[in-house]
């Protein structure tokens, strides 16, 4: 078993294409675009990583180390060039309770276990199940995250140093008022204007990078009094040191960290795979789900041994990268290396960047991420789809991404089951021999089994009844039980029931359930035509 799993794990890993995505030609121009895009992403990563570290209740460097390591490893081995990963708020809000109760060392151990679980999911190819997420859930996902990103930026409009770090992140603090507020709003507007106007003039420099640069230069030259990156926390530090989590290696520790690891692994994979699909739609790429799971898992496994808080794909930074022209793995690798250089060498310079510039970039990400067309189609799509879009959006904002996606998928699945349950019906006629034929139409499964039973008029039917499944499918055990229930009624009435045109998969299902004693090959299209022997209670060949 272990050897088979290891072999499957090895087969799942493909060597990364360090050159380009399939649709992108590598050229000096593309390399330059990727490098500049990576620099833009790195600048935007700094306040995000610091903020999420504070939410989790750990030192800012724990978030920065995670952003560097997770970003670097997933950029090299991930399933989609152009994606950016790092410390995220969706994971931070789960980590805060663990850190508060048991300390940061247990967090590192949890991140290691989280990585193992994600690699296992990738080796088992469970990433393919992301295709079960309906499009309305995807729309709710991007809308909810856009709102979450927007709300996260509002904390930058508070007085530096007055916010209180609690078990639920950064709270309290006084809002900017008067001239400081006007300066902040003006700088945000300036950054957004540069990002919007520059592509109309030139695409030599990524617009977000130009917006940050113009605003930063203006603030530094004029000496404007406005919050800066350094007001959040110092980002100066050394290279991430190797560190084995200092926790007891026993079952008690496992039972403490396992629930958190499972939740973090699930949230991380859901957010990463949904971001994978979103980036894939924008860049015309497909596949890579299992590879992304393994890359995310390996990144978190390594990060746990280097003092990082773990992470997953970041939709905001991924959008910045893609819309800045980043298309290859170079962009993500460069972003991670720039981030490390900020920590090691350039922290005094980076700490001078005004938060307003980074807020402006993220506001433009919000505008570009929100699916504005979903507002227009709400009145055109089926009511249940419109409900799912709104539901997932609201749950994403007020709960978290994983819960929102699970709720959206469950509601969509229940709606689908209900719609199919109402499809079951039958056409009936009497043959020249006097037998009544029921032509069943629609799937027979747990949702439609009760309706199936109600289709038959046992009391008034003739002695011979034929149930034709040519336009139906027997799906599950509930369907088998429904057939048994109908047969029992005809048995009680002393009448003969015959089943026809069961498909091959239905034939296998009935055989596996022990309802078929003899196979029949006289029905080449459907492989089975059987009689129900009411005296024995079994299905036999016909």
Is 83 among the domain residues?
A: yes
Longest dimension (CA), the chain: 99
| Helix 60-77, helix 28-56: angle, nearest 10 | 140
Is 23 among the domain residues?
A: no
pLDDT at site 304: 96
pLDDT digits (tens, 9 = 90+) for 20-67: 444 455 788 889 999 999 999 999 888 888 888 887 889 999 999 999
- b/e string for 468-497 if b means 16 or more Cβ within 10 A? bbeebbbbbebbbebbeebbebbbeeebbb
Q: Are residues 262 and 358 in the same domain?
A: yes
Q: Are residues 473 and 359 in the same domain?
A: no
Is 165 among the domain residues?
A: no
Confidence of residue 323 (pLDDT cuts 50, 70, 90): confident
pLDDT at site 511: 61
pLDDT at site 514: 52
Is 373 among the domain residues?
A: yes
Tell me what percent of the residues of the chain surpass a pLDDT of 90.
38
Q: Are residues 373 and 438 in the same domain?
A: no
- On the question of pLDDT at 518 being above 50, the answer is no
Q: Are residues 374 and 500 in the same domain?
A: no
pLDDT digits (tens, 9 = 90+) for 429-453: 999 888 999 999 988 888 888 899 9
The model's pTM? 0.75
Residue with tokens 């006084």: 174
- The total of structural domains in the chain comes to 2
Q: Which of 469, 479, 426, 473 is nearest to 448 (CA)?
A: 479
pLDDT at site 19: 40
Confidence of residue 325 (pLDDT cuts 50, 70, 90): confident
Q: Which of 67, 89, 76 is nearest to 341 (CA)?
A: 67
Tell me what percent of the residues of the chain surpass a pLDDT of 70.
85
Is 172 among the domain residues?
A: no
The 10 Å Cβ neighbour count of residue 33 is 22
pLDDT at site 206: 85
Between 182 and 1, the higher pLDDT residue: 182
Q: How far is CA 521 from the centre of its chain?
A: 46
Q: Are residues 390 and 490 in the same domain?
A: no
Is 258 among the domain residues?
A: yes
Write the CB contacts of 94 (distance below 8 Å, at least 6 apart in sequence). 260, 263, 264, 267, 400
Q: What is the CATH number of the domain that holds 504?
A: 3.30.750.24
Q: Are residues 196 and 307 in the same domain?
A: yes
Residues spanned by the domain of 221: 2-14+29-160+178-406
Are 539 and 516 in contact, with CB atoms under 8 Å apart?
Answer: yes
- On the question of pLDDT at 359 being above 80, the answer is yes
pLDDT at site 202: 84
Are 468 and 500 in contact, with CB atoms under 8 Å apart?
Answer: yes
Q: Which of 488, 489, 506, 487 is nearest to 497 (CA)?
A: 487
Q: Are residues 348 and 478 in the same domain?
A: no
pLDDT digits (tens, 9 = 90+) for 490-515: 888 888 888 888 767 666 666 665 54
Is 43 among the domain residues?
A: yes
Q: Are residues 370 and 511 in the same domain?
A: no
Q: Are residues 92 and 236 in the same domain?
A: yes
Q: What is the DSSP string of 346-407?
A: IHHHHTTSBHHHHHHHHHHHHHHHS-THHHHHTTTS-HHHHHHHHHHHHHHHHS-HHHHHHH
Task: Determine the average pLDDT of the residues in 64-93.
Answer: 91
Q: Which of 406, 435, 464 is the last residue of a domain?
A: 406
- On the question of pLDDT at 532 being above 50, the answer is no
Q: Are residues 238 and 291 in the same domain?
A: yes
Confidence of residue 381 (pLDDT cuts 50, 70, 90): confident
Is 72 among the domain residues?
A: yes
CA–CA separation, 107 and 509 (whole Å): 47
- On the question of pLDDT at 480 being above 90, the answer is no
pLDDT at site 76: 95
Q: Which of 466, 425, 465 is nearest to 444 (CA)?
A: 425
The 10 Å Cβ neighbour count of residue 446 is 15
pLDDT digits (tens, 9 = 90+) for 93-138: 889 889 999 999 999 999 999 999 999 999 999 888 888 888 899 8
Q: Are residues 298 and 361 in the same domain?
A: yes
pLDDT at site 371: 87
pLDDT at site 111: 97
Report the mean per-residue pLDDT for the chain: 83
Q: Which of 38, 37, 65 is nearest to 299 (CA)?
A: 65
Write the CB contacts of 452 (distance below 8 Å, at least 6 apart in sequence). 424, 440, 444, 479, 482, 486
Are 512 and 539 in contact, with CB atoms under 8 Å apart?
Answer: no
Q: Are residues 480 and 340 in the same domain?
A: no
């Amino acid at each position: 078993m272990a050897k088979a799993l290891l072999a499957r794990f090895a087969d799942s890993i493909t060597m990364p294409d360090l050159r380009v995505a399939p649709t992108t030609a590598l050229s000096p121009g593309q390399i330059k675009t990727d490098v500049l895009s990576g620099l833009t992403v790195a600048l935007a990563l700094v306040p995000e990583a610091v903020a999420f570290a504070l939410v989790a209740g750990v030192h800012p460097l724990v978030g920065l180390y995670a952003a560097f390591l997770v970003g670097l490893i997933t950029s090299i081995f991930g399933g989609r060039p152009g994606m950016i990963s790092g410390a995220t708020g969706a994971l931070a809000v789960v980590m805060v309770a663990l850190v508060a109760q048991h300390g940061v060392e247990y967090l590192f151990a949890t991140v290691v276990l989280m990585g193992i679980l994600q690699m296992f999911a990738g080796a088992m190819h469970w990433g393919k199940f992301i295709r079960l997420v309906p499009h309305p859930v995807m729309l709710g996902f991007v809308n909810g995250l856009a709102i979450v990103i927007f709300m996260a930026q509002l904390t930058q409009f508070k007085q530096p140093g007055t916010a209180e770090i609690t078990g639920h992140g950064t709270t309290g603090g006084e809002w900017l008022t008067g001239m400081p507020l006007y300066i902040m709003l003006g700088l945000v507007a300036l950054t957004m204007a540069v990002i919007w106007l520059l592509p109309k003039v030139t695409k030599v420099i990524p617009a977000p990078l130009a917006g940050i640069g113009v605003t930063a230069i203006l603030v530094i030259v004029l000496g404007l009094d406005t919050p800066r990156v350094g007001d959040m926390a110092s980002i100066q530090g050394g290279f991430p040191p190797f560190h084995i989590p200092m926790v007891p290696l026993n079952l008690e520790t496992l039972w403490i960290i396992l629930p958190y690891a499972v939740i973090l692994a699930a949230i991380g994979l859901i957010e990463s795979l949904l971001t994978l699909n979103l980036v894939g739609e924008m860049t015309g790429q497909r596949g890579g789900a299992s590879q992304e799971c393994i890359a995310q898992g390996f990144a978190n496994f390594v990060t746990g041994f280097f003092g990082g808080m773990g992470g997953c794909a970041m939709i905001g930074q991924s959008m910045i990268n893609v819309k800045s022209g980043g298309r290859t793995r170079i962009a993500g690798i460069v972003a991670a290396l720039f981030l490390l250089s900020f920590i090691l060498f350039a922290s005094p310079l980076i700490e001078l960047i005004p938060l307003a510039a980074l807020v402006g970039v993220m506001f433009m990400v919000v505008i570009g991420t929100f699916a504005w067309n979903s507002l227009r189609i709400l009145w055109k799509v089926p009511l249940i789809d419109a409900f799912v879009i709104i539901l997932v959006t609201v749950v994403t904002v007020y709960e978290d991404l994983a819960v929102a996606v699970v709720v959206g998928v469950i509601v969509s699945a229940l709606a689908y089951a209900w719609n199919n349950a109402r499809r079951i019906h039958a056409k009936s006629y009497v043959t020249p021999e006097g037998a009544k034929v029921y032509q069943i139409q629609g799937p027979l499964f747990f949702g439609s089994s009760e309706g199936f039973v109600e289709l038959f008029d046992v009391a008034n039917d003739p002695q011979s009844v034929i149930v034709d499944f040519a336009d139906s499918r027997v799906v599950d055990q509930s369907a088998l039980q429904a057939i048994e229930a109908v047969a029992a009624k005809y048995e009680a009435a002393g009448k003969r029931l015959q089943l026809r045109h069961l498909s091959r998969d239905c034939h296998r299902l009935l055989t596996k359930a022990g309802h078929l004693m003899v196979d029949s090959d006289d029905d080449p299209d459907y492989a089975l035509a059987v009689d129900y022997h009411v005296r024995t209670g079994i299905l036999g060949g016909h």
